[in-house]
Amino acid sequence: MSTTIDSQSIVEAAHARWLNVDEIICVLTNAHESLCWGTSEPILLPEEAPPTSPPTSGTILLYDRVAVRNYKVDGHDWVRKRSNQTKIREDHFKLRHHGEYRIGGTYVHSAEVDTLHRRVYRLIKTNKEKAEAGRKELVLVHYLDTD
């Protein structure tokens, strides 16, 4: 049985839950062509600048982290490190896809709303992908209120 993931289902899923590994990889690998598996629909096009107002729960944004270096400046107040109150506490994680680590990311907790979180996903490049020149360093930013 072949499953296809379309951009509409990814956007709808992002409003209700965290995206799964297949959906994240679909967005990050196919965003260069603006297509997702088996569809001709545009997925997410990379943003040119960070948001001007704090994103709401369910928002997913795509950035080229080289072009938009301050993509984490989003207007929300996040929990800070105890040892250095000027820095935001980011927890790091890796996700597996078919037994290999393919997604690296960070998540932060809101200082104002206990249930609001932001996750930032990026592809962990394989040796083949590292050899390809000119690929953008895309990150997928997902905001979700888990309440």
pLDDT tens, position by position, 14-68: 999 999 999 999 888 877 554 444 444 445 667 888 888 999 999 999 998 888 8
Q: Are 39 and 4 contacting, i.e. CB atoms less than 8 angstroms apart?
A: yes
Q: Are 114 and 133 contacting, i.e. CB atoms less than 8 angstroms apart?
A: no
Q: Are 36 and 6 contacting, i.e. CB atoms less than 8 angstroms apart?
A: yes
CB atoms within 10 A of CB 13: 16
pLDDT at 45: 65
Residue with tokens 């899923």: 13
Q: What is the pTM of this model?
A: 0.85
pLDDT at 79: 97
